[in-house]
Amino acid sequence: MRVLVTGADGFIGSHLTEELVKKGYDTKAFVCYNSFNNWGWVDYLDKEVRSQIDIFPGDIRDPNGVKEAMKGVDQVFHLAALIAIPFSYYSPDSYVDTNIKGTLNVLQAARELGINRVLVTSTSEVYGTAKYVPIDEKHPFQGQSPYSATKIGADRLAESFYRSFNLPVTIVRPFNTYGPRQSARAVIPTIITQLLSGYKTIKLGSLTPTRDFTYVKDTVNGFIEISRSSDTVGEEINIASQTEISIGELAREIIDQINPKASIVCEEQRLRPEKSEVNRLYGSNEKIKTLTAWKPRYSLREGLNQTIEFFTSNLDKYKCDIYNI
């Protein structure tokens, strides 16, 4: 089985690429081209794993490079995207180009090349603030940020290629994934890096929203299990822990593990616009458990322990003294 992972240089993509190699897949990694030959987190994988990866530097916005990367591939895991919500307020055009046009490039190439399976990565942000919980795949969509709006658009393009051209697409919708290698723009690395840097006051945005956190190894296992099941073709599938915790409670949990004397302050620049803030995300994982053999293996405490251990050893790779948007 020859597979391509777009966005392999990123957080989830690097973990997925690593796991596919370990499971014996012939793996190609589509990474964002740059003149430094920087392959993102792929550079930091174990040398034995990295030596088995076929690296393809390119730009997901370019249909020619995307099609070239997909030649000879059986399955595509499409993860390449811009994901930071605050940055989407400033640069929405780049999100349309990357998230919508980039997904269209993958779908067009898959159709022309006869790819056997395409997994398009969505996000729980497409649901917006929960209208009911747990949020299942029938929940309505609401674009509460330019980021979520472009992911809704990409999802609907994927659906249209399944319905119009019978392309074997699955829309994979992870809830809030966390773990080693995550960007400091995300809340858990934000808290951990500040604490490990000796900050006594931790700067955060709103503390009341709730999130459904899934450890990255569980998310990656979800992708692989979905790709192995023919019952998932044409479906939209959540990957969720089916639990929720508020940002304030989460912060206190991490603080208790690292420095119980630290306090929390809400910083104005970290707050989302009121109508844009997603106040509650609590996902249903019933569908994925029905259609595949997947089940979450890591509790939040176990996942946080491993995440803290990673950041303790890799703090020099992060700029915790600035607000990462």
Distance separating alpha carbons of residues 115 and 168, to the nearest angstrom: 8
Write the class of the CATH domain 2-179+214-243+282-298.
alpha beta
* Count of other CB atoms within 10 angstroms of residue 105: 23
Distance separating alpha carbons of residues 94 and 98, to the nearest angstrom: 6
For the annotated catalytic residues, the residue numbers are 147
Distance separating alpha carbons of residues 196 and 199, to the nearest angstrom: 7
Strand partners, 246: 210
- φ/ψ of 112, rounded to 5, equals -70, -35
Q: Establish whether the linkage from the previous residue to 296 is cis, with ω within 30° of 0.
A: no
Q: What is the pLDDT of residue 325?
A: 83
Tokens 């890591």 correspond to 298
Instruction: Residues 187-208+244-279+306-317: name the CATH superfamily.
Output: UDP-galactose 4-epimerase, domain 1 (3.90.25.10)
Q: What is the pLDDT of residue 324?
A: 83
Tokens 């919500």 correspond to 85
Looking at residue 131, the DSSP 8-state letter turns out to be S
Q: What is the pLDDT of residue 321?
A: 83
Q: What is the pLDDT of residue 45?
A: 98
- What are 121's two structure tokens? 């990565």
Q: Is the pTM of this model over 0.95?
A: yes
Domain boundaries, the chain: 2-179+214-243+282-298, 187-208+244-279+306-317
**E strands present in 181-246:** 201-204, 210-211, 213-215, 236-239, 245-246
Strand partners, 118: 76, 169
Q: What is the pLDDT of residue 96?
A: 98
Question: Which amino acid is it at 146?
Answer: P
Burial of 128: CB neighbours in 10 Å, binned 0-12, 13-18, 19+: buried
* Count of other CB atoms within 10 angstroms of residue 197: 11
Q: How confident is the chain (325 residues) per 10-residue block, as mean pLDDT?
A: 98 98 98 97 98 98 98 98 96 98 98 98 98 98 98 98 98 98 96 96 96 98 98 98 98 97 95 96 98 97 98 94 85
Ramachandran region of residue 242, left (φ > 0), alpha (ψ -120 to 50) or beta? left
Cα end-to-end span (Å), the chain: 37
